[in-house]
Amino acid sequence: MNAPLLNGRPVSLHILDYGLFRVHANGRIIGICGYLITTDAGEHVLVDTGFPAKYAEDAAAATTEDALGGFGAVLACGPENLPAAQLALCGVAPAQIDLMVQTHTHIDHIGGIADFPQAPMVIAQAERGLPRPLYWTGGQPLEWPDRQYVQLADDTRIGPGLQVLLAPGHAPGQLALMLDLPDTGPVLLTSDAISRPAEIDERFDTAADPAAAQASAARLMALADRAGAFVIYGHCPRQWPNLRKAPDAYH
């Protein structure tokens, strides 16, 4: 990538509420989230898109179709939890999305992978190089949609005050983001590179590549510590209820 993808600096971060999920193995109830980053140039960046829309139509049928029930249960995912509805809370229409960031390709992050066709998609080269998106091991594999991809092989500053960080382990091409907001200051969005702080102590024992996940987490937390960043974890049950969610925002 020869030139930044964005012209402006981040001025707001909206957390998008894509619903709730219960993990059967431990009973943990986790929020499913995405993000909307807006710059002072009026640009809109959408990070992840939650579950496929079929879960908002009939979660039970979709769970059966995808063989997801052995892992967990969708507790909340209605039309109000789909990207278009969440963006509407922020006063943004789907056609106004200028760029998408796909942190990785699990089922609860890629529901809209073929949506927002006008927006180039930033994705790790290692993730896009997979034969198919990861989706879910139980069923219904997706094909890669025909769209413009911006594939990253290294940490990349995609605009002033906004950096995409490679953090493999949970997924081969897992991404995190570091942004600098005018009032809040630096913010680290770990996505599933660190789903919750306890995962560090557990040494990422459920990750696809625990050693890589440990190294990525250590690097991310060191970056956050040096920057004095506010860390927003991917699926932290304790943090989720206390985060501002759209239409509220961090500035």
The domains of the chain are located at 10-242
CATH superfamily, domain at 10-242 = Ribonuclease Z/Hydroxyacylglutathione hydrolase-like (3.60.15.10)
In 3D, which of 96, 115, 99 has the Cα closest to residue 158?
A: 99
48-103 confidence digits (pLDDT tens): 999 999 999 999 999 999 999 999 999 999 999 999 999 999 999 999 999 999 99
d(CA 101, CA 121): 6
Close Cβ partners of 26 (under 8 Å, ≥ 6 residues apart): none
88-104 confidence digits (pLDDT tens): 999 999 999 999 999 99
d(CA 58, CA 81): 13
pTM, 2 dp = 0.97
